[in-house]
Amino acid sequence: MGEKPTIAISHLGCEKNRIDTEHMLGLLVEAGYGVDTNEELADYVIVNTCSFIEAAREESVRTLVELAEANKKIVITGCMAQHFQEQLLEELPEAVAVVGTGDYHKIVNVIERAEQGERVKQISAEPTYIADETTPRYRTTTEGVAYLRVAEGCDYRCAFCIIPYLRGNQRSRTIESIVAEAEQLASQGVKEIILISQITTNYGLDIYGKPKLAELLRALGKVDIPWIRMHYAYPTGLTPDVIAAIQETPNVLPYLDLPLQHSHPEILRSMNRPWQGRVNNEIIERIKTALPEAVLRTTLIVGFPGETEEHFEHLLNFVQQHEFDHVGVFTFSPEAGTPAYSLPNQLPQEIMDERRQKIMEIQQPISWQKNQQEVGKIVDVLIEQENPESGELIGRSSRSSPEVDGLVYVTGAAKLGTIVPVAIRSADTYDLYGQVALSPT
């Protein structure tokens, strides 16, 4: 046998995809493969694709075509491989393998088979796999941060979303497994763990018979990690017990990412959202009362089929009323295979773009105002990058999640991957500016 080929991975899409990428890297390194960040030097390039919306697919296709033109042996993994397996094999002769969302743990075997000249199609129709704390993992985030998957898949069937068809039904890990991985990450010096799944508030429902997020948070409270952040909390799942767990567990950040998608009951009903348009207002006010320090982020979809001016005005007023700390807005993307794809009254893209712009214009002064309230405070900042030329440090406060929220630009000296007190001197709409404050100790 000659030397093993070198492999590069091109990661696209969300942080759930990122964890799959990290496990594939870990398994390949464990099996003795050389892993290179430079795609030009690698024999194989694994492209971990995203298929959530049209724009994500376009990015995935662009990446695949560029690699094909460079005569690379391509292994296509992730949501797009699950979604369009036959078309990809047909249209990209350079693709030596397609690997589904429930099969990435077989990556070493896939490469071995490809090396033997086989064109590999490794795709389970119903993904059931979920990695645990024993699965090798090679982290790709900055040293202070790690994502921790608590569950995979989703039992809901929202009309616009393809993900349950690509990732299967919810399957949770045990509390013990999650805590064991958190302990491993703590021992590696991680300062922030971000809990992710499709619906984190439903964590444990499939294995314990009821959601166990409150118990999980309390268990993670005993791990020596300063910040534990949750992503994707459905408002209806933020029960008094979960809110109490956030209040009582000092290292659980009161940062709530609520994927509301819309405010109008009629649109929520046609989206087939799990609470069928029950009033979001009451839930949000209850959260704000129970957790006055809470940082609220939401994502919204504008231009869902049938969204009238009246529906959209309702959403505008909703954004203005609740003053979220962070808002992400997507225009509706019709996904083949979802019920919303064939709904009547699809809106033209220019109207959707206009509506998106209007929401951003309403949100910007709210975000600016929230940031101004930080000026003059000393806040803890996790230092993640350093500009080698200027020596300026870049990090995040506990109010911000990686890649989607704002940054803190910091002058002064601090080690990468540490949390330091920073005196905030100024702020703009998205970012804060400050300098390292002398520690009181």
What is the SS3 string spanning the chain?
CCCCCEEEEEECCCHHHHHHHHHHHHHHHHCCCEECCCCCCCCEEEEEECCCCHHHHHHHHHHHHHHHHCCCEEEEEEHHHHHCHHHHHHHCCCEEEEECCCCHHHHHHHHHHHHCCCCEEECCCCCCCCCCCCCCCCCCCCCCEEEEECEECCCCCCCCCCHHHHHCCCEECCHHHHHHHHHHHHHCCCCEEEEECCCHHHCCHHHHCCCCHHHHHHHHCCCCCCEEEECCCCHHHCCHHHHHHHHHCCCECCEEEEEEECCCHHHHHHCCCCCCCCCHHHHHHHHHHHCCCCEEEEEEEECCCCCCHHHHHHHHHHHHHHCCCEEEEEECCCCCCCHHHHCCCCCCHHHHHHHHHHHHHHHHHHHHHHHHCCCCCEEEEEEEEECCCCCCEEEEECCCCCCCCCCEEEECCCCCCCEEEEEEEEECCCCEEEEECCCCC
**Shortest CA distance to 292 belongs to which of 334, 246, 327?**
246
The reply, when asked if residue 333 is annotated as ligand binding, is no
**Locate tokens 């109008």: which residue?**
264
CA 187 to chain CA centroid, Å, is 24
Please check whether residue 15 is in contact with residue 229, taking contact to mean a CB–CB distance below 8 angstroms. no
346: tokens are: 């699809």
The reply, when asked if residue 430 is annotated as ligand binding, is no
Please check whether residue 359 is in contact with residue 319, taking contact to mean a CB–CB distance below 8 angstroms. yes
Q: Which residues contact 224 (CB under 8 A, 6 or more apart)?
A: 186
The reply, when asked if residue 158 is annotated as ligand binding, is yes
The reply, when asked if residue 14 is annotated as ligand binding, is yes
Binding region for [4Fe-4S] cluster: 14, 50, 79, 154, 158, 161
Known binding positions: 14, 50, 79, 154, 158, 161
